[in-house]
Amino acid sequence: MLHLGDLKGAQGRAGVRAGKAAGQADGASAPDWPARFAALAEAAHDPRLRAFYAAGAVAGDTPLAEVPMVAIDVETTGLDPARDEIVSIGLLPMTLERIASSASRYWVVRPRIELNAESVVIHAITHAQIEAAPDFGAVIDDLLAALAGRVVVVHCRDIERSFLDRALAARIGEGIEFPVIDTMDLEARIHRAARPGFFARLFGKRPAPVSIRLADSRTRYHLPRYRAHHALTDALATAELLQAQVAHRFAPDTPLRELWS
Amino acid sequence: MQVEQLEILDFLRAHRPFDELSEEALQRTAAVIDVRYYKAGERIVEFGEVAEYWHLVRSGAVEVFRRNGTLYNRLTEGGYFGEFGLLRSGRVRFPVVALEDSLIYLIPREVFAELFDQYESFADYVEVEDKTRLRQAMSRKEDANDLLSATVDTLVGRAAVTLDSTATAREVAQRMSEEGVSSLLIVDDHPDVPGLPQLSGIITDRDLRTRLVAPGLAYDTPATEIMSSGVVSVNHNQLVFEAMLVMLRHNVHHLPVLDNLRPVGVVALSDIIRYESRNSLFLVGSIFRQQSQDELATLVPEVRACFARMVNEDASSQMIGSAMAAIGRSFKQRLLELAEAELGPPPVPYCFLALGSMARQEQLLVTDQDNALVLDNRFDPAQHDAYFKALATFVSDGLARCGYSYCTGGVMATNGKWRQPLAAWERTFTDWIERPTPESLLHAGIFFDLDGVWGKTAWANRLRELIARKARGNSRFLACMARNALQRTPPLGFFKDFVVESDGRHTGAINIKRRGTAPLADLIRVHALAIGSESLNSFERLKDIIDAAILPLGRGQDLFDALEFISMVRARHQAESLAAGEEPDNSIDPEKLSEFERKSLRDAFLILGNAQKFLKYRYQPGRAN
């Protein structure tokens, strides 16, 4: 079985896939998140989810410098959100000024399916830790509280979005939506924007693909190499990458809507 | 809940000063760190803003500036900044800018303060005063060094074996056999203090052999006829190291130990060798047994091995410098003996002078021969100069073969200019001091470090007295000397594998002598001349300077530490070259320096730089000293 990290890598190599969450368009035409949250707050049944939406979403014209964010990474038993499950979640609040590693959170949760040996090795999470861990349901309170009012920052948005959506749906009967800044998408925009010209396409010449994997992207900004596949380390790595991308490619007064989706 | 940030924790664990914290403190620290990325060129902290964090460079590089905009330091991975502001005013003292894209860890003020208060090793390392770190590095080393810290009385295992001057040679031999000793002291009653024994001579096994048995004297020959009188001795509370130097300088193997003039024991060569295995003393002994330049040249590998051994055994630079100078001195003395044997006795008396680092007893391996001849005032060039020229050439060539290369500046007795009667030398020094110009003194510095090696060494003392008398408080002369002492400056520090100059330029290597030890010795010499010190060794001079209280409080000790540290880096570098089978030199490649050496060297350079500023200020032309 493939691992999540490999999926992120595979997507990276393949370029920006069309795999947007249903009904969502690209960057600039992201939904009106504050309005969407107001509507979802009305519709939600679970009080925790209602509180999450009621905390509101940051408006799209807010300058990045003023946007509260939270970098998050989940590690899973495999690739398929329909079948696989979350085993760990790491997150840390951040702004452009500061990555609050000191306020980071990390949970190991027990998946309902059997954890196979391969992914155990990759996550460095042992069976014993898994056995001792609570069900995802037990961390929903804390998780939603940590995300409330913040824009989520991930590397490869579909994973976190779909797995969190599924995990919640399975426990409380309702899924979740939230705005996301995807550092992989930002990297793809920067490096894959220029399409090859007519002749280049005609003769099958393609520019050497630029890897937009997390580790390779970080290297371009002279960020240190970290060990992969620990949810909290990956969340930190993503947070640092976003700060670097904004420092080099955007500005503190760039409106949020240019980055999120 | 406390969360483990593995990358942060691992980083702390691998870097000083965190590596000395307990695991629990490490985890606590890692858990409170926040992070921030800065693009190259971004300002990280501004002068005067509230100091909230202690900053740790996780990756990249930053530049720390003084308030006036000059570069203070460059830091890379593992470097830290902001402690000044946190420990002092609470405001940022040194603005910092990212030189490269950098990731910075932020440690909150309270946590920094807690670590600083609770962990002595942490505080020691971070301590705001750069020079303090150097001082601690030095004192730790001193503690580890027996030879430097132990006093002579620790070597005196038994009371002195003595006889009075009425004893015969047979009685001496019997007594030595009974006591199982290799030397015996002959004592008299002190002429003024009845009952107080006074040392009058020493007799060793060797003396019995060479002065009694070999010439076939009767066994009842008075002991006073075969003893050595005018004995060199040490005080019981002197350092073992000093005793070793006395033995080296005088080439003796037994030293009577005195306590308030009363002989309390004898220290033998073998006692000291317990402290320094395979001692440089052996080498000096063998120098005097060589019969030609060729034979002397065969000792070069031993000189080098002796040097490397001392470095590896953690001797101080002062010990190494003195031992190497004693060895150099012995080469000169033996070469002069051999020269006189070949050329015949000198037509008029002379004194052979060692100049520069050998006179200061600060010699390492790579060193020029700097020497001169002081001749009797009856010297007549037409009659005598051919002899002294030949003598100087013999010594100079011999020294070159023994590893002391010819002086490129021509400061050698082979140069007619530096082969003068005493009166001429006195005029030269008087001229230099009383009618100074920076040009006339440009290359004269070396002459103000002079030591008599052979012959009428009292003349060397006379010249030193003259210099001390005339130079003291002579502001024009001191201003010229100070100006020349500022011509060689230290670099700012190191950055990655480069040496950083004060103007920000990079170079690949530095000559640690030209940029470190030499300007330090120059600077110390100016102060020493100003106070009329007759000491030669820079450390001794510094002690005089500290006693004279002409430096701001504490600066003398700082210079002491800086000189010791830079000298030891130089010595270690030369020893490492030897070990690697390379020809030793003074060029230091920053790549080969440890993190600690880089930091401490930078501290030492800073001390030197500040001391040079002070020198310039203190010896301005026209200022009364």
Give the helix/strand (H/E) hosting B188.
Answer: strand B183-189
Which chain A residue has the Cα nearest residue B32? A102
pLDDT classification of A91: cutoffs 50, 70, 90: very high
Taking the CA of residue B28 and the nearest CA in chain A, the distance in Å comes to 10
pLDDT in tens, B411-428: 899 999 999 999 999 999
| pTM: predicted TM-score of the whole model, two decimal places | 0.59
CA-closest candidate to residue B148, choices B250, B275, B263, B41: B275
Size of interface A-B (CB pairs under 8 A): 69
| Structure tokens that stand for B441 in this block | 């003194």
pLDDT tens column, B334-359: 999 999 999 999 999 999 999 998 89
pLDDT in tens, B444-500: 888 999 999 999 989 999 999 999 999 988 889 999 999 999 988 898 877 777 787
Query: What residue type is A51 in one-letter code?
Result: A
Average pLDDT over residues A91-106: 94
Q: Do B37 and A223 touch (CB under 8 A)?
A: yes
> Distance between CA atoms of A110 and A171, rounded to whole angstroms?
13
Report d(CA B336, CA B340) in Å as an integer.
Answer: 6
Residue B502 distance to chain A (closest CA, Å): 27
pLDDT of residue B292: 92
Written as six digits, the tokens of B599 are: 């930091």
Give me the percent of chain B exceeding a pLDDT of 90. Answer: 40
Question: In sequence order, what are the residues at sequence separation of 6 or more whose Cβ sits closer than 8 angstroms to the Cβ of residue B430?
Answer: B466, B470
Smallest CA–CA distance, residue B31 to chain A, in Å, is 5
Output the pLDDT for position A27.
Answer: 43
Q: Is the pLDDT of residue A119 over 80?
A: no
Rounded-to-integer distance, Cα A28 and Cα B220, Å: 117
Residues 59-98 of A with CB under 8 A from B: 97-98
Structure tokens at B178: 């009974």
Strand stretches in B245-302, DSSP E: 254-259, 262-268
Extended strands (E) in B376-461: 419-421, 450-455
Q: Report the pLDDT value the prediction gives residue A202, as an integer from 0 to 100.
A: 56
Predicted local distance difference test score (pLDDT) of residue A199 = 54
| Per-residue pLDDT tens over the stretch A1-30 | 333 444 444 343 333 333 333 334 444 467
Checking if the pLDDT of B307 tops 70, the result is: yes
**pLDDT bracket for residue A123 (50, 70, 90):** low
Helix (H) / strand (E) containing B337? helix B317-343
Of A218, A209, A208, A148, nearest in space to A183 by CA: A218
ipTM associated with this complex: 0.82
Q: Which two three-digit tokens encode residue B377?
A: 């005032």
Q: Is A45 exposed, middle or buried (0-12, 13-18, 19+ CB in 10 A)?
A: exposed
3-state secondary structure of B500: strand
Average pLDDT score over residue span A189-215: 66
Query: How many Å apart are CA B605 and CA B184, to the nearest integer?
Result: 51
Q: Contact, B211 vs B226, CB < 8 A?
A: yes
Question: Which of B5, B31, B59 is opposite residue A236, by nearest beta carbon?
Answer: B5
- For residues B237 and B153, the answer to whether their CB atoms sit within 8 Å is yes
Q: A233–B5: do the CB atoms touch at under 8 Å?
A: yes
Average pLDDT taken over every residue of chain A: 81
User: Residue B284, CB half-sphere, CA atoms under 13 Å: how many?
Assistant: 24
CB of A138 within 8 Å of a chain B CB? The answer is no
- pLDDT tens figures, B82-93: 888 887 778 888
Q: Which residue of A has its CA nearest to B27?
A: A102
Residue B197, pLDDT > 90, answer: no
**What are the pLDDT digits (tens) for B387-397?**
999 999 999 99
Q: Could you tell me the pLDDT band of residue B1, with boundaries at 50, 70 and 90?
A: very low
Best of B29, B32, B35 to substitute, by most chain A Cβ atoms within 10 angstroms, is B35
pLDDT value of position A203: 56
Among A88-97, B71-80, B354-363, which stretch is predicted with the lowest mean pLDDT?
Answer: B71-80
Give the Cα-Cα-Cα angle B320, B485, B495 (nearest 5 degrees): 70
Q: pLDDT, tens digit, for every residue of B486-519?
A: 988 898 877 777 787 777 777 788 888 989 999 9
Average model confidence (pLDDT) for chain B? 85
Shortest Cα–Cα distance, A124 to chain B (Å): 12
pLDDT > 80? residue B142: no
Runs of H (alpha helix) within A116-221: 117-123, 127-132, 140-147, 157-172, 183-192, 198-202, 214-220
Around B103, how many Cα atoms within 13 Å sit in the side-chain half-sphere?
A: 26
Backbone phi and psi for residue B245, each to the nearest 5 degrees, phi listed first: -65, -35
Q: State which of A170-184, B132-146, B303-317 shows the largest mean pLDDT.
A: A170-184
pLDDT interval class at A153 (50, 70, 90): very high
Cβ atoms within 10 Å of B518's Cβ, excluding its own = 21
Q: Which residue of B has its CA nearest to A91?
A: B3
Confidence label for B382 from pLDDT (cuts 50, 70 and 90): very high
Residue A51 has pLDDT above 50, yes or no: yes
Contact A227 B34 (CB under 8 A): no
Q: Which residues of B touch A101 (CB under 8 A)?
A: 5, 8, 33-35
